[in-house]
């Protein structure tokens, strides 16, 4: 039978299979229109009735063969219904039309071939998936669909599953470096995005490091990997966690922050309460400037403000400082301090292996306290509730709604979308003159959760006016929070207050981490170019119109110059 179509050039083998599948799975009632068929396809997919869904999606793609999403849904329903042969053709069509991430479609085809027992085709498509930038290495390592390939040397090498327990130390580190270079090559240099090094330069650096393995300790190798990742040129590519061994967990039970006046202890374990508020002058025999300079060589970044955010966290890690040649003991250190009274002294502080180094603000232990909490004056709003993802408070005398936005994530008790609806219901029902969105502690999450907030702001003229909408930003405003900030700058009338953001309006991001098999180091190679601003926006950060950098003088007085500037702002 000759098939005619309004889109003759697009009807190929996959479309023919779709029509054949529709005929052979015609037990469901015929839909009276395309929209009804589509609605039934979406409904049965939601219900996970894969047999019925496959039939309906076959009807959808037969009627509309040009929509990439439809083909992807059709392929998924066939896969779920274990119709692997037909699913392959549908995934190929989805790949041809650009559905989703190309590497994912190729990976799904590899899985289908593996489930059909065609190992050669499975391996060919898996290699193609990797070449197309398939993102989740660890998923390929553990996916039961690919279990039949686990005895194949070609597969084991591709996904990094060779038995490293039988390797010598040098062989193990070389294996890690080879896998790292493979992932950087196929992901880190993908899409032609801007990088600060080239493939050739990176290869030379890896080769140089491999030749020095015998001269370096394991901690020094970890530091060298951090340097390699820093050379790529973005804030998401880097070492996320060191090897999960007791020595690496040794960290000072103190919280540091870099103010305009210098580095200060802003909190920590209550047993060190007397040190809170002290300025740090030296780590052992090293000045703070020397420590900052050494850490600068291993901190990946999108801009030059980010190290001022990250370095104070890394200063807690004596194993890291030791590997950098700054200190000799990973379990204790003499800190030279200037206390709140201006008196210099040296104190010995021991590390605590129960609270390893963390670069996430709200992951400090619950039992820790801050210097601000010990002061007689009340806490300013920005320090009251930093561990909650989002909350707001109405300042009735000033007619200001203060909304602290600490993570672009969904809280388990209330989604960000639901919170946004509640926030704007309050704004619309009360006498509100200004809305303040405080994002200075927000280091990201999921950008796809941000639109409800953005759309609500755009349509709410009551606060979306110059002088009525303010966004507080800072060095920790990063990743999905950077994207949200960029969207707010582009699409609302917000006035920005604080200090510059820790990332660029356009940047390379995303985290799909993997573990290096021998060393057990957790690393990430970011691979997605977020162009949230205009293509010709080359700024290093979003800068505030009202500049209020953090000062220890204000922190010590429990003052917030950013909020003070907003309250005082007049049109």
Tens digit of each residue's pLDDT (9 = 90 or more) over 517-528: 999 999 999 999
DSSP state of 332: E
Q: Which residues contact 68 (CB under 8 A, 6 or more apart)?
A: 94, 97, 98, 99, 100
- According to the model, what pLDDT value does residue 4 have? 33
Band of residue 357 on the pLDDT scale cut at 50, 70, 90:
low
Of the CATH numbers 3.30.360.10, 3.30.70.1450, 3.90.226.10, 1.10.760.10, which one belongs to the domain with range 381-503+541-568?
3.90.226.10
Candidate from 165-169, 207-211, 359-363 with smallest mean pLDDT: 359-363
Instruction: Tell whether the model's pLDDT for residue 189 goes beyond 50.
Output: yes
pLDDT of residue 29: 46
Give the tens place of pLDDT for each residue, 87-143. Answer: 999 999 999 999 988 999 999 999 999 999 999 999 999 999 999 999 999 999 999
3-state secondary structure 235-297: CCCEEEECCCCHHHHCECCEEEEEECCEEEEEEECHHHHHHCCCEEEEECCEEHHHHHHHHHC
pLDDT in tens, 367-416: 999 999 999 999 999 999 999 999 999 999 999 999 999 999 999 999 99
Residue (of 106, 46, 104) closest to 80 by Cα position: 46
pLDDT of 446 strictly over 90? yes
pLDDT in tens, 273-296: 999 999 999 999 999 999 999 999
- Are 267 and 370 in contact by the 8 Å Cβ rule? The answer is yes
User: Once rounded to an integer, what is the mean pLDDT over residues 435-462?
Assistant: 97
The per-residue pLDDT for 32 is 61
pLDDT at 110: 98
To the nearest 10°, report the CA torsion of 113, 117, 120, 125. 20
For residue 11, name the pLDDT band (cuts at 50, 70, 90). very low
Give the residue-averaged pLDDT of 304-313: 96
pLDDT at 10 over 90: no
Mean pLDDT over each residue of the chain, to the nearest integer: 93
Give yes or no for residue 1 having a pLDDT over 50.
no
Give the residue among 237, 240, 195, 198 at the shortest CA–CA distance from 222.
240
Q: What is the pLDDT of residue 108?
A: 98
Check pLDDT > 80 for residue 321. yes
pLDDT score for 5: 35
DSSP 505-531: SEEEE----EE-TTT--EEE---EEEE
CB 312 within 8 A of CB 263: yes
What's the whole-number mean pLDDT along residues 335-341?
Answer: 97
Closest alpha carbon to 389 in 418, 347, 368, 425? 418
Work out the angle at residue 75's Cα, subtended by the Cα atoms of residues 73 and 81, and round it to the nearest 5 degrees.
105
Quick check: 13 pLDDT over 80? no
Q: Do domains 8-159 and 381-503+541-568 have the same CATH topology?
A: no
For residue 355, name the pLDDT band (cuts at 50, 70, 90): confident
| Cα torsion angle, 220, 224, 229, 231, sign | positive
Residue with tokens 């990743």: 479
DSSP string of 14-41, one letter each residue:
HHHHHHHHHHHTTTSPPPSSHHHHHHHH
Which pLDDT does position 7 carry in this prediction? 37
Give me the pLDDT at residue 276, please.
98
What pLDDT does 3 receive?
A: 35
Q: Please, which pLDDT band fits residue 6 given cuts at 50, 70 and 90?
A: very low
Cα 252 from Cα 358, distance rounded (Å): 11
The full DSSP string for 340-407 is: TTS-EEEEEEE-BTTS-----GGGS-TT-EEHHHHSSSPPPGGGT-TTSSEEEEEEGGGTEEEEEE--
Given a cut of 90, whether residue 419 has pLDDT beyond it is yes
| pLDDT per residue as tens digits for the range 37-82 | 999 999 999 999 999 999 999 999 999 999 999 999 999 999 999 9
Q: What is the pLDDT of residue 247?
A: 87
Q: Where do the structural domains in the chain lie, given as residue ranges?
A: 8-159, 164-215+223-238, 250-374, 381-503+541-568
Q: Is pLDDT above 60 for 23?
A: no
359: pLDDT strictly greater than 80 = no
Record the tokens describing residue 199, joined without a space.
């493939």
CATH superfamily of 250-374: PDZ domain (2.30.42.10)
CB 507 within 8 A of CB 235: yes
Whether pLDDT at 19 is above 70: no
Residue 159 pLDDT exceeds 50? yes
Token pair 């061994």 is found at 245
Length of the chain: 571
On whether the CB atoms of residues 324 and 296 are closer than 8 A, the answer is no
361 pLDDT more than 70: no
Other Cβ atoms closer than 10 A to 295: 22
Q: What is the DSSP string of 42-100?
A: HHHHHTT-HHHHHHHHHHHHHH-TT-HHHHHHHHHHHHHTT-HHHHHHHHHHHHHHT-S
Give the pLDDT confidence score for residue 240 in this predicted structure: 87
CATH annotation of 8-159:
1.25.40.10
Q: Which two tokens stand for residue 212?
A: 């020095």
Looking at residue 166, what is its pLDDT?
Answer: 93
Position 360 scores a pLDDT of: 55
Phi, psi dihedral angles at 281 (to 5 degrees): -105, -35
Asked whether residue 21 carries a pLDDT value surpassing 90, the answer given is no
Q: What CA–CA distances, in Å, run from 80 to 44, 54, 62, 89?
A: 12, 9, 20, 15
Query: Which stretches within 393-476 are classed as H helix?
Result: 416-429, 451-459
Task: For residue 55, give both structure tokens.
Answer: 């039939």
Contacts of 341 (CB under 8 A, 6+ apart): none
Cβ–Cβ under 8 Å, residues 415 and 451 = no
């Amino acid at each position: 039978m000759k098939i005619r179509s309004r889109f003759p050039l697009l009807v190929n083998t996959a479309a023919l299979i779709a029509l054949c599948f529709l005929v052979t799975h015609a037990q469901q009632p015929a839909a009276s229109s395309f929209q009804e068929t589509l609605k039934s396809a979406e409904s049965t997919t939601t219900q996970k009735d894969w047999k019925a869904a496959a039939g309906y999606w076959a009807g959808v793609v037969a009627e509309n063969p040009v929509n990439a999403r439809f083909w992807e849904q059709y392929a998924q329903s066939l896969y779920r219904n274990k119709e692997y042969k037909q699913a392959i053709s549908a995934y190929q069509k989805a790949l041809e039309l650009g559905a989703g991430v190309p590497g994912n479609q190729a990976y799904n085809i590899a899985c289908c071939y593996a489930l059909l027992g065609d190992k050669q085709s499975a391996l060919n498509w898996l290699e193609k998936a990797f070449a197309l930038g398939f993102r989740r290495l660890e998923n390929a390592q553990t996916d039961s669909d690919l279990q039949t390939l686990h005895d194949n040397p070609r597969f084991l090498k591709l996904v990094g599953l060779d038995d490293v327990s039988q390797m010598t130390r040098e062989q193990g580190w070389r294996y890690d470096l080879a896998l790292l270079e493979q992932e950087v090559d196929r992901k880190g240099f993908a899409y032609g995005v801007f990088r600060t090094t080239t493939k050739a330069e990176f290869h030379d650096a890896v080769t140089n490091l491999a030749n020095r393995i015998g001269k370096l300790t394991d901690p020094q190798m970890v530091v060298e990997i951090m340097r390699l990742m820093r050379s790529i040129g973005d804030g998401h590519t880097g070492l996320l966690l060191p090897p999960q061994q007791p020595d690496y967990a040794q960290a000072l039970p103190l919280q540091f922050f870099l103010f305009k006046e210098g580095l200060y202890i802003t909190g920590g374990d209550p047993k060190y309460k007397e040190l809170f508020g002290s300025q740090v002058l030296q780590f052992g025999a090293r000045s703070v400037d020397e420590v900052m300079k050494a850490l600068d060589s291993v901190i990946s970044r999108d801009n030059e403000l980010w190290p001022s955010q990250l370095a104070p966290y890394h200063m807690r890690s004596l194993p890291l400082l030791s590997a950098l040649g700054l200190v000799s003991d990973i379990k204790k250190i003499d800190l030279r301090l200037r206390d709140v009274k201006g008196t210099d002294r040296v104190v010995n502080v021991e590390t605590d292996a129960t609270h390893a180094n963390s670069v996430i603000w709200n992951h400090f232990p619950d039992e820790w306290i801050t210097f601000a909490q010990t002061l007689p004056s009340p806490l300013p709003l920005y320090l009251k509730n930093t561990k909650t993802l989002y909350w707001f408070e109405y300042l009735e005398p000033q007619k200001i709604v203060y909304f602290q936005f600490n993570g672009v994530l969904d809280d388990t008790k209330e989604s960000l979308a639901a919170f946004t609806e509640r926030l704007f219901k309050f704004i619309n029902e009360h006498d509100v003159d200004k809305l303040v969105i405080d994002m200075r502690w927000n280091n990201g999450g999921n950008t796809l959760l941000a639109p409800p907030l953005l759309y609500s702001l755009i349509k709410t003229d009551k606060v979306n006016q110059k002088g009525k909408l303010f966004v507080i930003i800072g060095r920790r405003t990063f990743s999905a929070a950077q994207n949200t900030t960029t969207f707010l700058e582009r699409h609302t009338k917000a006035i920005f207050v604080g200090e510059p953001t820790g990332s660029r309006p356009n940047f390379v991001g995303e985290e799909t981490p993997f573990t290096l098999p021998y060393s057990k180091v957790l690393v990430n190679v970011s691979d997605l170019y977020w162009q949230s601003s205009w293509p010709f926006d080359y700024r290093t950060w979003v800068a505030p119109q009202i500049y209020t950098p953090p000062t220890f003088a204000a922190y010590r007085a429990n003052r917030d110059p950013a909020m003070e500037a907003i309250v005082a702002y007049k049109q």
